[in-house]
Structure 1
Amino acid sequence: MSKGDRAKSAREKIKAQQAADRVRERRRKAVTYATVSVVAVAAVGLGAWYAASTSQAEQVGGSLPPTTVNPDGSVTMAQSGVTKPVIDIFEDFQCPACKQMEEVSGSTFRNLAAEGKAKVVYHPITIFSTDPTKSNSLRAGAAARCLTDGRQWVGFHDLLYKNQPSETAEGFTTDQMVAWAKQAGATGAGIDTCITGQKNVQAQLDYSAKVMKEQKLSGTPTVKLNGTALDNKVVFAPKDLRDAVTKAAK
């Protein structure tokens, strides 16, 4: 083989080697990108799973814990002797976010009380200042004050949220609420006239103003654990909510 032929052969080998190197590099990058994509998808999937697991509403377990309607209109749910940790729930029956909270975390509040792991106190207030939301809220809040039996109050509370009217329409009519009170088992003398006569409107207004001032509330729902407001990310995540209460009990 001549010197020229040897040089040509060497150049061809170099080109072939370079071509092979380029193929290997493309393959390496493809594998790297695929691995990164799989990890990213896995991370997204894990995040979605965690979000779903923490936002899953608990099943209500056992019977309703002892529930007492207090003279000021608040309602305490707790096993005998349980004084802490204290969960204060500030809610407005016309508030859509309060309805969502009840749907997602309402069973967790009740389960914690039933398990003797917390003292739960409901504070139904009126935060709205314009109609129809203000009037709707006042009618509902005043009507709830007519029920003095704890179990009946809880049933009525649930029906108010289940039948919550739009924020742009008049709702919570007295006739509707009389029917819901009976559905909740409140058939005692004077319940109907208490609701239709709206005798507790001023008490609802006074209590709302007092609570909002003392608690420095800017809106509902607001949930406080031992006096400290919980982040709504925790309030709307039953698993995180339970963990926070369990930690506070230690």
Structure 2
Amino acid sequence: MSQKNSSEAKRTARERMQEERAAQEAKTKRLRKFGIIGTVLAVIVVAVVIGVLVQNSRTSSYDAATQAPAGTIGTNKLIIPVGSSAAPSTLTVYEDLRCPACGSYEKSFHTTVNQLMAQGKIHVNYHVVSFIDRNDNGSGSKNAANAVACAQNVGKFHGYHDVLYANQPDETDDAWADKSKLITLAKQVPGLDTPTFESCVNNNSFGAWVTAVQKDFDKSGYTSTPTILLNGTSAYPTYNGEQISTANLIKWVDAANKGKTPATISPSASAALVSPNASPSAAG
């Protein structure tokens, strides 16, 4: 081999080694980059998993077996029933006790609804939500929902429910942030204002239940209160194209019940349903 060819061979080998070294360094950089990206992704995945676990722990913190008021119904005991379950029609009510439209509905229809229950034609399933607090950073909706749960726990929901609506503050006035006002209103329901009830209100004993009811509402697809359903069909502000009124509500219930037997209601239970504050045995 000539000296020239030998020099060229050495240069070619040297260049090849440099190219290989450069390629190896580039590969190393790529691997290091991918390693960093992989680490970041792993951290993100771990964070997401932790977030999901935390959220699941929050949503599963409610235990229906031990934290629901007595007499509540449904899969997770989030519903407060009033009236006979043997009644052929069901009125479902989603309400926030601070909601002015709910107050308007109750003031206009509670007498008619109570009479329909007393006649054994309907029973009412109440979902007591508390989203107004979330919108204005208040606490009155949650306090009131807990208070009616305390009343439900001793069989006095119906009477206390009507008292709260009869004394509902303006929506902009978070009056029930003061729990003593809820306790004072309980004096209007015979037999409700007891040390047990006061402790239940002051200690927020059914707070987990109140939160669970609100979460259920958030997942329901309904977005406002009152949401009123007659046998699963929206009845507020209209039902099958007709505007709601006391006369129409009676007509709708009678049409839905055609050919069906009303529930048998005892005279004392009927009286309690019509005037739920008149007797300590008010239905709940």
Q: TM-score range by the shorter chain?
A: 0.5 to 0.7
Letter of the 2:213 counterpart:
Y
Q: Number of paired residues?
A: 179
Of 193, 200, 208 in structure 2, the residue corresponding to residue 202 of structure 1 is 208
Q: Report the counterpart of residue 224 of structure 2 in structure 1.
A: 219
For 2:247 and 2:142, the matched residues in 1 are separated by 33
Of 241, 245, 249 in structure 1, the residue corresponding to residue 253 of structure 2 is 245
Contact 2:235 2:244 in 1 (8 A): no
Aligned-pair CA distance for 1:240: 0.7
Aligned-pair CA distance for 1:212: 3.7
Structure 1, gaps ≥5 residues long: 1-67
Aligned-pair CA distance for 1:197: 1.5
Letter of the 1:241 counterpart:
L
Aligned-pair CA distance for 1:93: 0.3
Q: Report the counterpart of residue 70 of structure 1 in structure 2.
A: 72
TM-score for the superposition, normalised by structure 1? 0.65
TM-score for the superposition, normalised by structure 2? 0.58
Structure 2, gaps ≥5 residues long: 1-69, 259-284
Contact 1:127 1:219 in 2 (8 A): no
RMSD: 2.1
Q: Report the counterpart of residue 91 of structure 2 in structure 1.
A: 87
Indicate the structure (1 or 2) with the bigger Cα radius of gyration: 2
Contact 2:107 2:166 in 1 (8 A): no
Letter of the 1:70 counterpart:
T
Q: Report the counterpart of residue 165 of structure 1 in structure 2.
A: 169
For 1:193 and 1:227, the matched residues in 2 are separated by 37
Distance 1:99 1:69, change over 3 A: farther
Letter of the 2:246 counterpart:
P
Aligned-pair CA distance for 1:69: 4.0
Letter of the 1:85 counterpart:
S
Query: Percent identity between the aligned chains?
Result: 27
**Residue 138, structure 1, aligned to residue 119, structure 2:** no
Aligned-pair CA distance for 1:73: 4.7
Contact 1:73 1:145 in 2 (8 A): no
CA-to-aligned-CA distance 1:10-65 (integer Å, 9 cap, x gap)? xxxxxxxxxxxxxxxxxxxxxxxxxxxxxxxxxxxxxxxxxxxxxxxxxxxxxxxx
